[in-house]
Structure 1
Amino acid sequence: MNCSALRIIHVFPTFAIGGQQMRLASLARGLGSDFRHVVVGLDGDLGALAAFDGVEIEAKTFALRKGRGLFPENIVRLRRLLGDSGADLLCTYNFGAIEAAIANRFGPRLAHVHHEDGFGPDEAFGRQKRRRVWLRRLALRRATTAVASLGLEQAALEVWRLPRARVKRAPAGVDVKRFAAASRARRAGSPVVIGAVGALRREKNFARLIEAFSAIGGEADARLVIHGEGPERARLEALIRGRGLAGRAFLPGATPAPEDAYAAMDVFALSSDTEQTPLSVMEAMAAGLPVMATDAGDIREMVSEENRPYILPLHDGEAYKAALMTLIRDETLRRNIGAANARRARARFPVEAMVDGFRKIYLDAVVEARR
């Protein structure tokens, strides 16, 4: 252990498996022994620790009182947690960790980087709650805010009115080599696999994908596999049964090896109502897959030019179904788009660039706080 390492305490609304948690796993590996990490899940869920195999990380169980509004007892407890942590830097994640940001303003005043990666269903389609706007504006004014997309950058500057110098576009990246190395060998005559990877939450709207797949009916020999876990599982299972898709659509749960999941796919599908720069899209691109997705966040800009016709209007179910059918039927098209996406992923999303970018953001925040 490097005793002089910079110590970061990461406060998440939940430390269940998700994009932010997987990004931290990649970052922790890339940052190496010069950084030490403590993670806190404010709902007590530490399920994502399984993704930190081989990474030295400390986890703390902590459960906040939940309800509408802020609770002074939460602020007091979080202030004590931060003060006792011995950390050099506080990292908070999304609005669900805003009470930790407030506690830091009244407490130890650690160097602070706040990560904003997107909105839940209650703030989708630009419906930001006034109370949340004001709390972000007040709690984050002295923090560095790392935003995941152009839309979030605009929100941070124009809606939350944070200082321009304190808003940073968060670098995005994945282990491109890891996902490119996964072998994909299609057997002649085997079904085309439409795949998705993501938490089964309402804003991911996997019901949209299931309905589109159901509408294809028996027109194509295809299978649908959605990897993930979450509160929408029962509803999605009922939808699969109700549409008569048993044996053609599957919910195998969260996967510990996403590279293997992508290797078994022919098309990657995303059906979210709200996104920013989805980790799963980068991974699918690195794996050489065509991406069919709703036009949310920065997805259109992320994918290759060849792929952009398959980034579809959010509420156009007919276009979504037609695009799915086109990709199922045309293997050459899938292969050409996948190759273009793999080239773009190598150029745009190497994990090394993400690690270097976040290292600078973190170190700059600590240096400024020590002045």
Structure 2
Amino acid sequence: MTAPRPSVLHLLTSLHFGGVEKRMELLAEQPAGDMQHLFCAIGGGGSAERQLKTLGAPVHCLHQPAKIPSPAAILALVRLLRRLRPTVLHAHGAEANFHGLIAARLAGVPVRVGEEIGIPTHSAHARRVFRQLYRCAHCVIGISDAVTGWLVDSGEVPPAKAIRVYNPVKLPNGRSARVPTAETLRIGFVGRLEAVKNPQALVEAVALLRARGIPAELWLIGEGRERERLEAFIRAQGLDDRVHLLGYRPHPDAYVRQCHLYVQPSRSEGFGLALVEAMGCGVPVIATAVGGAPEIVAPGTTGWLLPEATPTALAAALEAAWRIGPQRLAAMGARARGAVEGRFEPARYKSRLETLYRQFTPKRAQGEHGQDPDSALP
């Protein structure tokens, strides 16, 4: 009798819009191998759910509350895991880690993988909780060196269990041969309009540039809770002809490649998916030196890094970029494209994950020093 095909259940909080959801779509787009990849949301579905189903991937949405702790989510997950019997449970993000790792242990899933998708602001109590939780994981992935370093430095994950695996990025086509004109400095931003992404500071920076006589134009692509606040500021400052809120766009690269610069002014980031995509468009970048940005951007070569993205700091960096002119910006953008090509390939990402899963599977998911993590739990 043929042995059943090993399977991996990827657990997320939801399957709508977002960087993690996009990563699952890239996984599902890869050619089928000897491991089957399944996808599950603790909560609801949406855009990513539909796309995954279109790609032929098995998808499950439990429609349970994901706020920690959720006994209902754990119970629903245990039932699903006992029915599907996956070889691996790979949880993505804090809520998925908490509920998924507990449920996977209760259901007897052989291999249990956690993943932190950002740098948390955990309290001392939360750190103790996650330190205990991660004892039943065979490894915990950080999506950048910065995230992995935080997991270890915080004491939540021992160094031997913390593994860095960069996010996959499907690079868009590069910039067209036509370089944007020098008449206006066109700036792009793609992301959620949320405080952590700091779009307000970027809009204020454009107001400062206008006061200095620099013709800057900003394209903001995305939706979020900050939209009303941004609209009010734009009206109050008379920036309607300078700042354009374009909303959600399924193919933002079509807009980014028409820009001189891409700016990521985030207060916190885990990796910086949109940053890599912008560089893949052949556009230089300005980013806050948080999360994975210092691992992606080479200052002065492919873009600029700022210690803090205040309106004043952003305006100074944007003015400096304006002064060097469109031709030099285009050359910097070409170097940015070259810096990310091949580095974050989705096929490489899938291969890296499956190699990691197999590392534990042949030993029946034994933990460190040949000991199952379950035996270390109280």
- TM normalised by structure 2 equals 0.85
2:145 to 150, 158, 166: 150
Q: Distance in 1 between matches of 2:191 and 2:49?
A: 17
Give the structure 1 partner of residue 191 of structure 2. 198
Q: Distance in 1 between matches of 2:181 and 2:175?
A: 19
Give the structure 1 partner of residue 83 of structure 2. 84
Provide, for residues 328-362 of structure 1, a one-character-per-residue CA deviation record: whole Å limited to 9, x for no partner: 34213311221221121125333343232222123
Give the structure 1 partner of residue 103 of structure 2. 103
Displacement of 1:170 in angstroms is: 0.7
Give the structure 2 partner of residue 270 of structure 1. 264
Q: Distance in 1 between matches of 2:168 and 2:99?
A: 28
1:1-371 aligned within 5 A:
5-30=5-30, 32-49=32-49, 51-52=51-52, 55-65=55-65, 69-97=68-96, 98-119=98-119, 123=120, 127-143=121-137, 144-176=139-171, 179-181=172-174, 183=176, 185-186=178-179, 188=181, 191-217=184-210, 219-307=213-301, 310-314=304-308, 316-329=310-323, 330-346=325-341, 348-369=343-364
In terms of fraction of residues, the more helix-rich structure is: 1
What is the alpha-carbon root mean square deviation over aligned residues?
2.7
Q: Distance in 2 between matches of 1:341 and 1:52?
A: 30
Change (3 A) 1:257 1:250: same
**Does the Cα contact within 8 Å between 1:184 and 1:264 map onto a contact in 2?**
no
Provide, for residues 58-106 of structure 1, a one-character-per-residue CA deviation record: whole Å limited to 9, x for no partner: 2222233365x52333322222122223322211111121112222222
Which runs of no fewer than 5 residues in structure 2 stay unpaired?
367-378
SS of the aligned residue for 1:141 comes to helix
**Does the Cα contact within 8 Å between 2:257 and 2:278 map onto a contact in 1?**
no
Q: Distance in 1 between matches of 2:15 and 2:307?
A: 32
**Does the Cα contact within 8 Å between 1:36 and 1:56 map onto a contact in 2?**
no
Q: Distance in 2 between matches of 1:186 and 1:51?
A: 34
Q: Distance in 1 between matches of 2:279 and 2:330?
A: 12
Provide, for residues 276-326 of structure 1, a one-character-per-residue CA deviation record: whole Å limited to 9, x for no partner: 221111111122111011111131231134247721121543221111122
**Does the Cα contact within 8 Å between 2:17 and 2:47 map onto a contact in 1?**
yes
Change (3 A) 1:299 1:188: closer
Change (3 A) 1:265 1:315: closer
Change (3 A) 1:4 1:248: farther
Displacement of 1:52 in angstroms is: 4.3
| Structure with the greater alpha carbon radius of gyration | 2
Equivalent pairs, count: 361
SS of the aligned residue for 2:28 comes to helix
Q: Distance in 2 between matches of 1:249 and 1:43?
A: 35
Displacement of 1:31 in angstroms is: 5.1
**Does the Cα contact within 8 Å between 2:174 and 2:280 map onto a contact in 1?**
no
**Does the Cα contact within 8 Å between 2:10 and 2:37 map onto a contact in 1?**
yes
Q: Distance in 2 between matches of 1:323 and 1:129?
A: 35
**Does the Cα contact within 8 Å between 1:173 and 1:282 map onto a contact in 2?**
no
Change (3 A) 1:45 1:246: farther
**Does the Cα contact within 8 Å between 1:113 and 1:365 map onto a contact in 2?**
no
**Does the Cα contact within 8 Å between 2:191 and 2:274 map onto a contact in 1?**
yes
Query: Which amino acid is 2:352 matched to?
Result: G
SS of the aligned residue for 1:136 comes to helix
Provide, for residues 221-261 of structure 1, a one-character-per-residue CA deviation record: whole Å limited to 9, x for no partner: 33211212233333333332233222321222222223323
Q: Distance in 2 between matches of 1:51 and 1:166?
A: 33
**Does the Cα contact within 8 Å between 1:92 and 1:114 map onto a contact in 2?**
yes
Give the structure 1 partner of residue 375 of structure 2. none
Change (3 A) 1:31 1:367: farther
